[in-house]
Each structure stands twice: as C-alpha cells, then as structure tokens.
Chain A
C-alpha cells in the first residue's frame, strides 16, 4: 500500500518534516483556529490537533479535523486514552478515517486532575501502547481489539506516538520508545526540547538500538513567548525540563520575544544536524502566528511538494 498521508510521504521521501499544532477552542467557534491554520498552510506538512489538552474541555480533535479537511489541510488527530474506552476509540478512528483523516497520534493524556473537570472519571481502559497496537492491528490485520474482523479493510493510516526524553526514569526512555515501535508506531513526536544535552543523550541511546532507522523521530520545538510562559512550563507542566540558563538568556535579552524565537530556531538548526532526527514538531500554542517565521528562518521553507 502506498502512503496516503502527506506527512508520511514527506518523511518517506527523506525530507525533513515540519508539523504544526492547533489547540481547539473552548467553544464551537473555529474562526480563529482556521485563521491560524490558514496562516501556516504553506509552512507545515500536517497539523496536530490536540485532544482536550491538559484535560480541558474543548472542541473535539476529530471535529476540528473535519474543518481542516474542508480547507484542504492535513490533520494529525491526537487521541488520548484518558476520556474514551476501547469501544469509543476504535469507533472514532473509523469515523475519522471515513472522512479522510490518515494521521493519528496516540497518547496517554494528562490526568484529568489538571483540567477543568477534575472530578471526572479517568477512563484509561487502554494505555497508549495498547492504542498504538490496536490501530496497527485494525489497519494491518483488519481486526478490532476483540479479534472480530472489520467489514472492510482500513486504508493506509499513519500511526504516531509520543516520546518524552525528559521524563524519568531516563535510562528506560529509549526502551519505551523501542516498545512503541514494536507496538506499531511509525512516527514519533517528542516533548518540547529545551534541554538539548539531555535530548542528545537520549538520541545516542536511540541510535545504539538502531531505533532511528525504524521510526521517524520529530523533535518537539516550542518558542518561548515570555518569562512567565517559561516559568509556567518549568513548574506546572508534567514531564518538562526548562533549564534556568534558558530563562536567564531570555531575561537578559533586549527583545525577549525575539530571543524566544531565536532559541527555537537554534534548536531546529541543532536538530537538523542530529543523526536520526527526521523532522520537527512546532508547538506554538497561543503564538501560532510565528510559525511561518520560524520555519523560514530555520531554512525549512518552502515545504516539499510530494505525491
């Protein structure tokens, strides 16, 4: 089967891929989101759409994916196992595939405690590993988790997963990646990289196992908009490392926003040099308008036209 997803084609074609990220709003009004999507339409290969990120109720990832498809843009639908059981996850996958979604990113999801419905039940019927495997089996074996057959084969979907080199135990993180690949992950997007030394150490271990040859690894990059945002990520976002030196560098700059962008661009430049890194995932949440500038200044524009 040939790749159907643009992102997969870009990666298979050996190009350094760029994905963007859109966070759906806490309403059904998608005009701002569409505006952001449109503004980076020539700068990213695909758009991640977050799934009720940090457990806050928002328009569903699949709902936004439909809007994006109508604009001729390619979504990468994030699916967490926090809010849906296996019945719903498999059903939602079919629904999304039915209107043309081909990229899916499997995640565990932040605990509901962090969101705006902290009293809700955390589902976690499957874990993220099992979701990856379930999607692979639906596509490759034509079977649901139950073992029952799909009535019609799935088209070629592109299965993604996440990796967090900044979480602990560090010595296990590359092994967890290996497990996700064994489960069926074809591309990986990492947590935001601010601690490049640690990322490089992780990549060394990844290369030792030859994992970079089995999966496309995209480094997560987030431009820091302000000292406040950096401090917030440092203290409140689970599984992130934001070194103090980075914050000091921004604090010492004349134009702090510009410095935030410079750091993001430098990060991408370094990622391009690391063996085994196949692309970047730019997460400029609440600062979407800077994505074109980052992509251009990082030398990743124009995006490859593949078919």
Chain B
C-alpha cells in the first residue's frame, strides 16, 4: 500500500489560510488502512481546523467527504457531480490522489493534507515499513524476496557494505541491514552462492531516473481511450 502521514495542523492551516469554504476529502483505500487520510482522519482534521479558526476569530465553513479512491476518475466523477461549493479541497489522499483530482477537476484548488511516505506494509500495529521503490526492474528473485534497492540504504546490489554491524545498518540501529537479512535467508535456503555473481550496474532508466513513467497496455486500451 501507499503509506502517508498527515501534515502538521499548523502547515495545513497556513496553506488553507486564504480560503473560507473548505472541503476535507478523505481517501478510502491505502491511507485509510494506514490511519492517516480516511473518513475518520478527515473528520478529525476538519474539527481541528474549525477549532483553530474559531480561536483566531476567523470565519470558516468546512465539510468532509471520503472517496473510495481519489486516484480513479470514476470515483472523482461521482463526487464532483453533487459536490457542494467550496474554495479549496484539502485532499487527505497520497500524492497520486491529489494529482488525479487536480487533473480531473482543473478548476478546483486541491491541496495536500498528507506527506506521502512510501510503498510499504504494516510491520506491526502502528509501524509501517518501506519495501518497494518501484524501480521498474524487480530483483527479488536474486535475493529471495528482500529488496536491496529499497531496504539497503545505499541500494547496493553486490552484498553488504562495511558499515553493517550486528545485523543493523550504519544509518540507524532501527534499520535492519538488508544484505545481512539476504545473506541469512540465502544461507538458510542453501542458496548463498547466489551472492557470488557480480551484479552489473543497474538500469535505472526503468525507474524514475528515466523520467516520469507511463505504462501502456495496448491490449486493454479502448480505441477512444482516456
């Protein structure tokens, strides 16, 4: 899932300062699951904003709504048909949602209420962990399911650097050394010789380094397509 974290209220208040009628718009999928931008968080954010404006003696009108996904036109269209008037929409979706909303509703001002963090998973209650950078050329077969591009702080492809100690990364004791994990996993599976081959320089052009990416599937495209 895409993991996000709500921006500090002060930052949100500042970006919304010029606007009087505000819609706080939650997103019902990833950021609902990671407890940062769903229906509940939209209501909390709206309440906190109202209170803040009240304290400052400034007039505000806030309503909330939540779409199943802000990253798909069909949900945005359902919403925009009956959307009440507003000066700005505070989107609690990830950056994908904010931009899809902007593309679909170009006359509206859509502002980000979250800092989008990463693609990852809930490690335990209240802890989320990054495990995919979307590099466009998956190497999880080499390492049997532990991504060195994402989980090694230096994205190394040929084993652990000299900063790995006691299974931890030099960057922070809270980070496991990905190559230590890979070494242990490959050892356990009797496949540690997979680390012997020199992995050549990675083709980063399939990642964001090749420029913003578009994926096209001609076989499922509509002729009139969007």
Give the residue of A110, A134, A176, A191 whose beta carbon is less than 8 angstroms from that of B160: A176
Q: Is the CB of B167 within 8 A of A168?
A: yes
Contact of A179 among B155, B159, B177 (CB under 8 A): B159
> What is the total number of residues of chain A having a CB less than 8 Å from a CB of chain B?
36
Pair A126/B171 contact, Cβ less than 8 Å: no
A239 in contact with B167 given A108-B162, A183-B198 (CB within 8 Å): no
CB distance from B159 to the nearest CB of A (A): 5
Q: How many A-B residue pairs have CB under 8 A?
A: 100
- What chain A residues lie within 8 Å of B155 (beta carbons)? 124, 127
**A111–B157 touching, CB < 8 Å:** no
A275 beta carbon closer than 8 Å to chain B: no
B131 to chain A, nearest CB (A): 18
Query: Could you say which residues of chain B place their CB within 8 Å of the CB of A228?
Result: none
- A76-89: contact bitstring with B at CB < 8 Å (1 yes, 0 no)? 00000010001000
Using an 8 Å CB-CB cutoff, how does the interface string of A107-126 with B read, 1 for contact, 0 for none?
01111011000000010111
Residues from chain A with Cβ under 8 Å of B157 in the complex: 127, 129-130
Say if the beta carbon of A26 comes within 8 Å of chain B: no
User: How many angstroms from the CA of A167 to the CA of B199 in the assembled complex?
Assistant: 21
A145 adjacent to chain B (CB < 8 Å): yes
Are A162 and B162 touching (Cβ within 8 A)? yes
> Which residues of chain A are near B200, meaning CB under 8 Å?
130, 133
The SS class assigned to the B binding surface is loop
Q: Are A179 and B160 in contact (CB under 8 A)?
A: no
Q: How far is the CA of A1 from the CA of B201 in the complex (A)?
A: 28
> What's the nearest-Cβ distance from chain A to residue B180, in Å?
6
Contacts of A125-178 to chain B: CB distance below 8 A: 125-130, 133-134, 145, 162-164, 166-169, 172, 175-176, 178
Q: Decide: B195 and A167 in contact? CB cutoff 8 A.
A: no
Indicate if the CB atoms of A111 and B163 lie closer than 8 Å. yes
- Known contacts A114-B170, A130-B199, A179-B196; can you find 6 more A-B pairs with CB under 8 A? A108-B154, A108-B161, A111-B163, A111-B171, A113-B172, A168-B160
A-B residue pairs in contact (CB < 8 Å), sample of 18: A86-B201, A108-B154, A108-B161, A109-B154, A111-B153, A111-B154, A124-B154, A125-B202, A126-B201, A128-B158, A129-B157, A129-B159, A130-B198, A167-B165, A168-B177, A172-B160, A239-B161, A239-B162
